[in-house]
A and B are shown apart, each in its own frame.
Chain A
Amino acid sequence: MSPLMMLISVLAFAIAGYVIARKRAVGMAGGDSRKLASLPGFYGQNAAYAALIPGFAVFLAGSILTRISLKNDMFGLWADLVTRLPNLVPTLAVLAAGAGLAHAIYRTRPEFRARVAAESWVMILLIAAASVAILTTVAIVFSMLFETVNFFGQYTWTEFLFGTTWAPDFRGNSALGILPLLWGTLYISVIALLFAVPVGLFAAIYLSEYAGPKLRAVAKPMIEILAGIPTIVYGLFALITVGPMIRDWLALPMGLGSSGSSVLTAGLVMGVMLIPFVSSLSDDIINAVPQAMRDGSLGLGATKSETIRHVVIPAALPGIVGAVLLATSRAIGETMIVVLGAGAAAARLNQGLGEMVNPFEAMTTVTVKIVSQLTGDTDFAAPETLVAFALGLTLFTMTLGLNVAALIIVRKYREQYE
């Protein structure tokens, strides 16, 4: 039995189930559907679901199990079985569908509450869908955890966490300290936030408190467009426009560097990317501050800007802090802009402060190194490859912390004004 045959059979079972169960119910009620506990259609639906859902569930589970067992030499017994009987899984699926169907038809009696039964099948589907979100998180954690444990089997974790040199070498003897990468990540993020937070916040304030309807109608969508532009576009912008501009107009005249990719390039472009993020979050938050509070201040003879600075911003502060945390999380997880704009050379932490803080130097980040260690020819036994999973786990942990903190702060803030 091939998968296609299986598909056809299960569908046929479902249609047959619908027709048979419906007929049977109406027949048992002597043709008077008012004597049934549910509408006749529900008896049919229940039988159709009873064939479809177990059939596909068995097929999906069986296929995944087969793939995993063949690829990873796990569940040897199962692997043997499916190699000898290649059509085992589709057959099992059809059997499951048949069994479900038979049971549903057997249960079809006038007093059977078919609507409740049919709806509980739907509920199973809904719950399964909702658990995909949980499974994703679990999969993220496990995908990185296993390889990270492998990595720490080959490389000491203290060296990784506190090492000040990043110099991977596939011939061995790599120095894989995360600190230079973290420094690059944080430095670029700080520049991005120093640019994006004031600009985004002021833009939000101006648009919500000052701008007339005409300006708002033009400026707001334009800033929102920035949010819809994919990061690869920003990356290319950094690579071919901003990078050379900063090099030729700033770095070379000042004698501070000659690199097209630099911390400042990546930071500024990332800042542009974050403007709409900060401004739309701040906009929501500023609008949540009750008008009565503004009136109170204006009624005392405060100017608009005094009202904003002394009343609106302090009232909105927790929300704004939450927005900045979310923006930070975005910044440290951003990949394409830094891949194309920041360069591949890790910061050299032991070469003196001057080089470390020169914004015109190329400097790499955690995300750039995840990409470079996992693309091209990779050997999943070498620590130089596995380190990417440890970097990923570090990144995930950092953003998780920021996201959850931001969520809690923003949620508390909203409750306060509801």
Chain B
Amino acid sequence: MDDMRYLEIDVTAQTNKMTARGVDVFYGDTHAIKAVDVDILDKTVTAFIGPSGCGKSTFLRCLNRMNDTIDICRVKGTILLDGEDIYDPKVDSVQLRAKVGMVFQKPNPFPKSIYDNVAYGPKIHGLTRNKAELDEVVETSLRRAAIWDEVKDRLQSPGTGLSGGQQQRLCIARAIATSPEVLLMDEPCSALDPIATAQVEELIDELRSQFSVVIVTHSMQQAARVSQRTAFFHLGNLVEYGETGQIFTAPKDPRTESYITGRIG
């Protein structure tokens, strides 16, 4: 089965969705990311792994310029989305984030109804023309996030009233409702129990059919389960990047091997 998947990748791997070249990130005086080059392929799940503090989340936040919200953070280098530099002064970070959505570590539903949570993105981006269309977007998004059946009877109740796993799936629904081209996920399962984790992982696998997904994870098992390509970060460096199977079975770099065998991290 796994082999099948690799084959599939090889067919589509030609399209590069995002390209990062020589990316450096500084927090004040701290050099958090050092000269990272990565290609994110379209319709692929890419996993970033590495010990805590290795910079994988920081790098992820560069991909939709969420780091702009942190005053002391500076980014150097080029990151291209479909060939366009996302750090070009002409680029509007708002337009960028509409294309590159994000799901966070802790579920963070807005203090609004479930419906309004999902409808928020389409509303601000003006994706729908009328209420009926909006209803449809909300329903499809909730269905795709595999939570529709659980919430369809209480769309008007607050999103904060759901369980942790449901909240995270709601946040995923919220993110895909704006139909992004890339979906960034920052340890989306770290606050969830195993059952909810399984549900979210299943969901990620399914989302691959439409988006390019980048997931930061702490758990190597999770990376192995959901991703096709894996990047291993260590101390701000991208140590190794390649197909998931290869990274886990035949790592080229001794640090990667140490990490996946549990000697560092």
Chain A interface residues toward B at CB < 8 A: 212-213, 290, 292-303, 306, 310-311, 314-315
Contact = CB atoms under 8 A, between A and B. Distances in A.
Contacts of A290: 108
A300 B97 contact: yes
Nearest to A213: B71
B92 to A, nearest CB: 9
Interface string B186-205: 00000000000000000000
A326 to B, nearest CB: 22
B96 A301 contact: yes
A332 to B, nearest CB: 31
A300 B108 contact: no
Contact of A301 (B69, B97, B112, B171): B97
Given A296-B104, A302-B120, 10 more contacts: A295-B108, A298-B66, A298-B69, A300-B97, A300-B174, A300-B175, A300-B178, A301-B124, A302-B124, A303-B124
A360 B133 CA distance: 52
A297 B97 CA distance: 10
Contacts of A314: 110-112
B94 interface: yes
Nearest to B68: A298
A300 B121 contact: yes
B125 interface: yes
B69 A297 contact: no
A298 B174 CA distance: 12
A290 B110 CA distance: 10
B156 to A, nearest CB: 15
A298 B100 CA distance: 11
A6 B110 CA distance: 68
Interface of B: 64, 66, 69, 71, 94-99, 101-104, 106, 108-112, 120-121, 124-125, 171, 174-175, 178, 184
Given A298-B97, A301-B96, A303-B94, A292 B108 contact: yes
Nearest to A318: B111
Contacts of A301: 94-99, 101, 121, 124-125, 178
A310 B97 contact: no
A415 to B, nearest CB: 14
A295 B71 contact: no
A310 B124 contact: yes
B125 A315 contact: no
A4 to B, nearest CB: 64
B70 to A, nearest CB: 10
A131 B178 CA distance: 59
Contacts, number: 74
Given A213-B71, A299-B175, A300-B178, A293 B102 contact: no
Chain A contact surface mostly = helix
A28 B70 CA distance: 70
Contacts of A213: 71
Contacts of A293: 108, 110-111
Contacts of B106: 292
A316 to B, nearest CB: 9
Contact of A297 (B71, B96, B120, B184): B120
B41 to A, nearest CB: 22
Contacts of A295: 66, 69, 102, 104, 108
A303 B71 CA distance: 16
A57 B184 CA distance: 71
Instruction: Name, among A294, A300, A302, A314, the residue most crowded by chain B CB atoms within 10 Å (CB to CB).
Output: A300
Contacts of B102: 295, 299-300
B171 A296 contact: yes
A298 B121 CA distance: 10
B220 to A, nearest CB: 26
30 contacts: A290-B108, A292-B108, A293-B108, A293-B111, A295-B104, A296-B108, A297-B110, A297-B120, A298-B66, A298-B69, A299-B64, A299-B66, A299-B97, A299-B103, A299-B175, A300-B98, A300-B101, A300-B121, A300-B124, A301-B94, A301-B178, A302-B94, A302-B97, A302-B120, A302-B121, A303-B124, A310-B110, A310-B120, A311-B111, A315-B110
A315 B108 CA distance: 12
Contacts of A212: 71
Given A292-B104, A293-B108, A293-B110, A300 B120 contact: yes
Nearest to B116: A310
Contacts of A296: 104, 108-110, 171, 174
Nearest to A303: B94
Nearest to A299: B102
Contacts of B109: 296
A294 B178 CA distance: 17
Nearest to A315: B111
A299 B95 contact: no
